[in-house]
Amino acid sequence: MKRLISVVGPTGIGKTKLAIEIAKSQNTEIISCDSRQFYKEMKIGTAVPLDEELAEVPHHFIGNLSIDDYYSIGQFEKEALDKLDELFSSHDVVVMVGGSGMYEKAVVEGMNDLPEADEDNQKLLQFIFEKEGIEPLQNLLKILDPDYYNNVDLENPRRLFRSLDIIFQTGKSYTENLDSPKNKRNFETIRIGIDAPREVIYDRINRRVDIMMEQGLLEEAKGLLSHRDKVALQTVGYTELFRYMDDEWTLDFAIEEIKKNSRRYAKRQVTWNKKLVDVNWVNYENSVEESLSLLHKIL
Question: What pTM did the predictor assign?
Answer: 0.84
Q: Alpha helix (H) ranges present in the chain? A: 15-26, 51-56, 73-88, 101-108, 119-132, 135-144, 146-149, 157-170, 174-179, 198-215, 217-223, 239-245, 251-274, 287-298
Q: What is the pLDDT of residue 114?
A: 79
How large is the average pLDDT for residues 184-191? Answer: 95
Per-residue pLDDT band at 151 (split at 50, 70, 90): confident
pLDDT band at 90 (very low <50, low <70, confident <90, very high): very high
Residue 177: per-residue pLDDT: 86
Annotated binding site: 9-16
Most confident of 122-131, 158-167, 225-234, 282-291: 282-291
Angle at 280 between CA 277 and CA 285, to 5 degrees: 135
Q: Which residues does residue 60 pair with via DSSP β-bridges, in sequence order?
A: 31
Domain residue ranges in the chain? 3-111+182-298, 119-179
Average pLDDT of the chain is 94
Tell me, which fold does domain 3-111+182-298 have in CATH?
Rossmann fold (3.40.50)
Q: What is the pLDDT of residue 191?
A: 98
The CA R_g of the chain, rounded to the nearest whole Å, is 19
- Give the model confidence (pLDDT) of 12-60 as tens digits: 999 999 999 999 999 999 999 999 999 999 999 999 999 999 999 999 9
CA distance 101 to 35: 9
Name the residue with higher pLDDT: 180 or 74: 74
**With 70 as the cut, is the pLDDT of residue 163 above it?**
yes
Binding site residue list for substrate: 11-16
pLDDT at 156: 85
pLDDT by residue (tens digit) across 92-136? 999 999 999 989 999 999 877 778 889 999 999 999 999 999 999
CATH of domain 119-179: 1.10.20.140
For residues 256 and 236, give the distance between their C-alpha atoms in angstroms, rounded to a whole number.
11
| DSSP bridge pairs for 192 | 7, 280
Model confidence band, residue 181 (pLDDT cutoffs 50, 70, 90): low
Q: Which residues are annotated as a binding site for ATP?
A: 9-16
String of DSSP letters for 226-279: GGTTSGGGSSTTTHHHHHHHTTSS-HHHHHHHHHHHHHHHHHHHHHHHHTSSSE
Q: Provide the β-strand partners of residue 39.
A: 65
